[in-house]
Structure 1
Amino acid sequence: MNIVEKILDTLTGYERVTLQETERMLVLDEGRFAAILGAGRHRVKVKDSLREVHTIDQLRFVSPYDRALFRQRPDLAQAHLLEVRTGPEELVLVTRDGRPLEVRMPDSRVVYWKDAGEWAFETFQLSEGLQVPGALLSRLTAAGVTAGLTQVTVAEGHIGLLSVDGKPSGQLQPGVHGFWKAGRALSLKQVDLRMRTHEVLGQEILTKDRVTLRVNLTAQFRVVDAEVAVTKVKDFEEALHKALQLAFRKTLGALTLDRLLAEKVTVDAEAAEKVRAEMSGLGLEVGEIALKDVILPGEMRDILNKVVTAEKEAEANVIRRREETNATRALLNTAKVMAENPVMLRLKELEALEKVAGKVERLTVHNGTKGLLSDLVSLKE
C-alpha cells in the first residue's frame, strides 16, 4: 500500500485488510450485514463496523449472527453458506469431496462453508426403517463415521431377534448389521439354531416297588421358531428341563426297578411324544430322548450284586450238572459196546498197553512173546 492510499484511507475512515485463501470475513456496517469477504486485500470501514474472521478449514460457520444472516440477507448467506436441516424423522448423510463426513441426527441444524469443498447431502427417512444398507455401512465404517450408528454382529448358526423401543422389529441373519441410532432403543437377542443336547441330571425317582434312585436324562433339541421360543416363555431351555422332569418322573415312577433297568436304553414313547408336542408349541424340535444313567443307592447296589452273583452261580451249576450227565451217558454207551463186542474190548486194552509202553523204558511180558502173539492171533480170529 502506497502513501497516497494510506492517507486517503485515513481521511475517509477506512483501512486495508488481507485475507488468506482459507479465511473469510463477515462485515457489519452500522449494525447491518454488509458483506462476506474472501481471500485478498479489502478496504473496510473502521468506524461503526464489526468484523468476524472465520477459517473455512473448520468447515462449519459458527457465529452469533448465524440465523439473523439467513433472515436478513438470504442472498449473502446462500452465496457463501450451506444450511442443512433435518426433520423429526430424518437423517442426513453429509459427504465432502466424495467422502462421508458425518451423519446429522433428527431435528438438527448445521451451516457449512460452501467454499470448504464439494458438498453432497443424502436424506434417509426413519419411517422407512432403521437398518443401514450393507454397502453404505461398509463405506461409513471405512471412513470412521460411526457416531450415528449402532453395529451388531450375529454369529454363525444363530439368528438375531431385533427389538426397537421394546417392540419386536424383525430377524437378522448371521453377519454384521448397522442401524441408525436416531434416539431409538435397540436391543438384539441371539438364538442358537443348531442341534444341542440338554441333560437333566440327578433326577430323584421313587419306583413302583418303592426303590429310590437317581436318573440322568438326555434330550436332543433345536430351535425352529426363534421368535416363538423367545416370546412365549422366559427361558425355553428351562421349560424343556421342567417338561422332561415332570413327564419322566410320572412315567418312571410307574415302573418297577427290574423293568426300569431292563428298559434303560429306550424310555417310554408316550412320555417322549408328550414332551415333543409340548415343546413344538414353544418353537422347539425335540429329537431323541433317553435315560443316560440310573444311579442306585449303595445298599441297593450291594443287594443287586449279590442277586446277580447268585443267578450266575446257579447257571454255572446247571451247566456243570448237564456236562457231568452227558459224560456219564457217554461212558455207559461205551461200556455197552465193549460188553457186546470182545474184540473192541481187546483193542482198547492194546491201546492202553501202547500208551503205557510209550511212557516206560522196559516192558516185561510174563507169558512170553509166543503167548503175546497167540493172543494177537486169537484177537484176529
Structure 2
Amino acid sequence: MTHVLTRLIDRLTGHTRVTVMETERLLVLERGRIATILSAGEHRLKRKDTVTERHDLNRLRFTTPYEAALFRERPDLAEAHLTEVRAGEDEVLIVRRDGRLHGVVLAGDREVLWTDAGPWAVERLTLTDTLAVERKLGKALVRAGLGHVLTIWDVAEGHVGLLTVDGVLKGRLEPGTHAFWHIGRGATVRMIDLRMRTHEVTGQEILTKDRVTIRVNLTAVYRVTDPERAVAAVKDYTEALHRALQLAFRRTLGALTLDTILAEKGAVNADAAEAVRAEMARIGIEVGEIALRDVILPGEMREILNRVVTAEKEAEANVIRRREETNATRALLNTAKVMAENPVMLRLKELEALEAIAGKVERLTVHNGTEGLMTDLVKLRE
C-alpha cells in the first residue's frame, strides 16, 4: 500500500524513481546542466527536463561527452567520484589497480577513472633521452597485454644494436631484448654483425698493362670493430669495402702485364690488400685475408696460352727423352766394354738370355753341349 501511495505521489508531483546498482553510477542533468552523480540505491528524480546517463564501473574509465563540462562546472563532483591521471611532457605514468598493472598513460596524455572502481596507484617515470624501459617493467607490461605502448627490439648473439632516437645516435645495445616507450618519437635500432664475414667481388673486368682484358674474382674476410664509426662514416660499409677492393685491384693489376699477374699472384694480393686494409681501418672495419681467387682470360687468349704451354711441355719432353736415350747408349757402351774385357761376364749374359727363353717355351733342346751356345744351332720345339 505504501509503495502504491509513493508511486501515486511521485506521479502527482512529477517525479520518478530510479535504482542504481553497486556496480553503477548515474550522471544526472537537469535542464541541460550537470546536477549530480548518484551512487548505489534508489533515487527520486524530477521527470521533466531531466536526463540521466548510466555508467558501468567495470569499464573503469569515465567516458562521456559531458566530461569537460563536469570538470569545468562541477569540480566538486569530479573530485568526489573520479580520479584524473595526467602525464607531463617528459614522463610516463604506470597505473595500478589494487596492486596490479592496469594501464599506461604516455607523455602528454590523460585518463579519467572511476574512483570507486579502484583503489588506484600511480607511478611516475621520467623519460630518458633514450626512451628506454627497464627490462623487468617491460616484461610485466607485455604479460599484462600492454605491449602496444612499447617498441621492442631483439639483438642477437654476435651482433650489436645502434640505438637512434629522432635521427640522433644514442648508444649501443648488447645482445638481448630491449624495450622503448612508443610515444611518437622514433626509437630505431640498427643491427650490426660483429662476426667475421666473407665478401666477394665477382666478374671484375680489368685491362692489364699489355692491353689484355681479364676478369677476376676477389674474396675478403672482414669484421666490424667500431660500429659507431662504420655507420657514421659511410652510408653502407659493405658497399664501401666492395668499392675499395675493386679500386685497389684495378690499380694494381692495371700496372702489370698478364705474365706477371699469372706468375706472381701472391705478391699482387699483398700489394692490393695493404691498400684496402688501410682504407677500411679508417671507418672501423678490420680486413683479414684478401685473395685474388680467379683470373679468367678471354677465349682467344686461353687458346694462345694453351698452345704455348703445350709447346713448352713438348720441348721439355723431347729434352728428357734425348737425355734418357743418351744415358741408355752410354750404359750399353759401358756394358760392351766390360764383356769384351771379361769373357766370364759374356758367358753370364748368355745364360741369362737362355733362362729368359726357357721360361717362355715348353721344351728346349741343346746340341753340341753348352759351349758355343750362342754361335751353334739352337733348336726350339713347342
For the criterion TM > 0.5, the same-fold answer is: yes
- Once residues 352 and 260 of structure 1 are traced to their aligned partners in structure 2, the CA distance between those partners, rounded to angstroms, is 58
C-alpha distance in 2 between matches for 1:145 and 1:354? 104
Change over 3 Å in CA distance of 1:106–1:303 after alignment to 2? same
Q: Deviations over 1:133-157 (max 9, x none)?
A: 2122212112221332222333443
State the match for 1:365 in structure 2: 367
Q: Does 1:274 align with 2:275?
A: yes
Aligned to 2:379: none
- The TM-score normalised by the length of structure 2 is 0.86
- 1:298-309 equivalences under 5 Å are 298-309=299-310
Contact between 1:9 and 1:15, CA under 8 Å: does it hold in 2? Answer: yes
Could you tell me how far 1:195 is from its partner in structure 2?
A: 1.5
- Once the two structures are superposed, residues 89-129 of structure 1 have per-residue CA deviations (whole angstroms, 9 ceiling, x without a partner) of 22222223444333223222322111113322222222454
- Greater shift after overlay, 319-328 or 125-134? 125-134
Question: Residue 164 of structure 1 aligns with which residue?
Answer: 165
Aligned residues: 371
The within-5 A match list for 1:54-69 is: 54-69=55-70
Matched, 1:121 2:103: no
8 A Cα contact 2:19 2:43, kept in partner: yes
Structure 1 counterpart of 2:95? 94
Q: Which moved more, 1:51-60 or 1:136-145?
A: 51-60
Cα-to-partner distance string for 1:259-278 (whole Å, 9 max, x where unaligned): 21122345342321121111
CA contact (8 A) 1:357 1:363 kept: no
1:312 aligns to what? Answer: 313
Secondary structure in 1 aligned to 2:367? coil
Decide whether the 8 Å contact of 2:269 with 2:292 is kept in 1.
no
Structure 1: any 5+ residue segments left out of the alignment?
A: 374-381
Instruction: Quickly say closer, same or farther: Cα 1:91–1:363, change in 2 above 3 A.
Output: same
Distance 1:305 1:208 in 2: 21
How many Å apart are 1:72 and its aligned residue?
Answer: 5.4
Q: For 1:190, what is the secondary structure of its paired residue?
A: strand
Instruction: Tell me how far apart the structure 1 counterparts of residues 29 and 205 of structure 2 sit (CA, whole Å).
Output: 90
Residues 254, 34 of structure 1: alpha-carbon distance in 2 compared, 3 angstrom cutoff: closer
Matched to 1:210, the amino acid is R
Render the CA deviation track for 1:305-341: whole Å, top value 9, x for unaligned.
Answer: 1111111112211221121122111211122222222
For residues 37-61 of structure 1, give each alpha carbon's deviation from its aligned partner in whole angstroms, at most 9, with x where no partner exists.
2112233455676544322222222
Provide the rounded CA distance (Å) in 2 between the counterparts of 1:12 and 1:153.
70
Deviates more, 1:114-123 or 1:289-298: 114-123
Q: Which secondary structure does the structure 1 equivalent of 2:37 belong to?
A: strand
Partner amino acid, structure 2, of 1:213: I
Over aligned residue pairs, what C-alpha RMSD do you find?
2.8
- Give, as a single letter, the amino acid of the residue that structure 2 aligns with 1:348: K
Cα distance in 1 for partners of 2:33, 2:14 equals: 18
Percent identical pairs in the alignment equals 63
| Corresponding residue SS for 2:217 | strand
1:15/1:362 Cα in 2 relative to 1: closer, same or farther (>3 Å)?
Answer: closer
The residue that corresponds to 1:378 in the other structure is none
Please give the TM-score of this superposition, normalised by the length of structure 1.
0.86
Larger CA deviation: 294-303 vs 267-276? 267-276
User: Given residue 149 of structure 1, which amino acid in structure 2 is its aligned partner?
Assistant: L
In terms of mean alpha carbon deviation, does 347-356 or 153-162 score higher? 347-356
The C-alpha deviation readout for 1:46-84, integer Å capped at 9, x for no partner, is 567654432222222234553454455544433321111
For residue 256 of structure 2, give the secondary structure of its aligned residue in structure 1: coil
